[in-house]
Amino acid sequence: MTMVEIERKFLVKSLPDGLQGGTPILQGYLAHDEHMEVRIRQLGDKYFLAVKEGAGPMRRETEVNISPRQFHALWPSTEGRRLEKVRSLVDHGSCRMEVDRYLGDLEPLLVAEVGFSSVEESERFEKPDYLGQEITEMEAYKNISLAIHGIPEGPALDYQVGALPFLFRGGRLHLVIVTNTAQTRWIIPKGQPEPDMSRQDVAVMEAMEEAGTIGSCLPGFRVLCRRKGEKTLYIYPLKVTTVLKKWPEMDWRKRAVLPVNKALKMISDPDLSQCILRLTSRMLA
């Protein structure tokens, strides 16, 4: 089935009164570029493959039913490009809204999509008080961006960006870890976001400055790490191509290249250690 969608998307400040239950959605992306997305979705007990074309409030969507077996056969190809949410339907005047409550790393994000029968109707729409900022044209709030990059960047003080430099020695995965500047505990390279740089570029920079490793971020992989008493940390695995003998912060930090299990034992923060374990398990799956 092919249709033209006319939709506007808003952040939700608070859930509408009486909103209960909802339908669980598991969604992953097989391919994408700036003009097209190919995704698979489990909506309750139904399964779909869809192709979306275009951007903004008007998009062309072609959707076909697939079997559970086909869905599960394709699902591994969406690794690193997945999201999970619960969808509830809300009527507002003549409009039907889909309110999505995101789960996992995207929690507590709340988003509402409002569908319209015409562009004129969409322009006349008056949003209820529980809807906040409109995000229809914001790339960072597209589902594909959320699936790959997580919740869009907020103020610089809200989070940090970390790198997990890795390489293989003797066929075994090794991690590059460093100490803090006081050399009292082992951590991973991390720092504050930069306004003119992507998170991945920040991770590359921090890995070079703090650990003396040069490489590139592994496409489609990252983990959102929430730590007690610490800022939220976005961790990106970095495939190391060069280990420098001299690097900017070598006078203040120690560096170690260790097999995963040994590296995890060295890291003192149990929350950080668990996040790294989750990420490396996905990388080796």
| 221-260 confidence digits (pLDDT tens) | 888 887 777 777 889 999 999 999 999 999 999 999 999 9
With a cut of 80, say whether residue 169 has pLDDT above it: yes
Q: Compute the CA torsion angle 38, 62, 132, 125 (nearest 10 deg).
A: 160
**pLDDT greater than 70 at residue 34:** no
Active site residues: 29
**pLDDT classification of 156: cutoffs 50, 70, 90:** very low
Scanning 175-220, the segments in alpha helix (DSSP H) are 199-211
Among 34-43, 177-186, 207-216, the range scoring the smallest mean pLDDT is 34-43
Note the pLDDT of residue 4: 61
Q: How many CB atoms lie within 10 A of CB 48?
A: 16
Opening angle at CA 5, ends 91 and 37, nearest 5: 120
H-helix or E-strand spanning residue 95: strand 95-102
Residue type, 230: E
Per-residue pLDDT band at 1 (split at 50, 70, 90): low
So what's the pLDDT on residue 104?
A: 83
For 119-144, how does the pLDDT look when each residue is reduced to its tens digit (9 = 90+)?
Answer: 778 778 888 888 888 888 777 888 88
Single out the residue of 214, 190, 191, 192 nearest to residue 276, CA to CA: 190
Please tell me the predicted confidence (pLDDT) of residue 155: 46
pLDDT recorded at residue 130: 86
* For range 188-203, the mean pLDDT: 85
pLDDT at 246: 95
pLDDT digits over 44-97, tens only? 899 999 998 765 555 678 899 999 999 999 999 999 899 999 999 888 877 788
89 sits in which H/E element: strand 82-92
Q: Please check the confidence at residue 266 and state whether its pLDDT lies above 80.
A: yes
DSSP 267: B
Residue 64 belongs to what H/E stretch? Answer: strand 58-65
Mean pLDDT (whole number) for 6-26:
83
- Averaged pLDDT of the chain: 87
Of 64-73, 139-148, 160-169, 205-214, minimum mean pLDDT range: 139-148
107 or 204: which leads in pLDDT = 204
Give yes or no for a contact between 221 and 236, defined as CB atoms under 8 angstroms apart: yes
157 pLDDT band (50/70/90 cuts)? very low
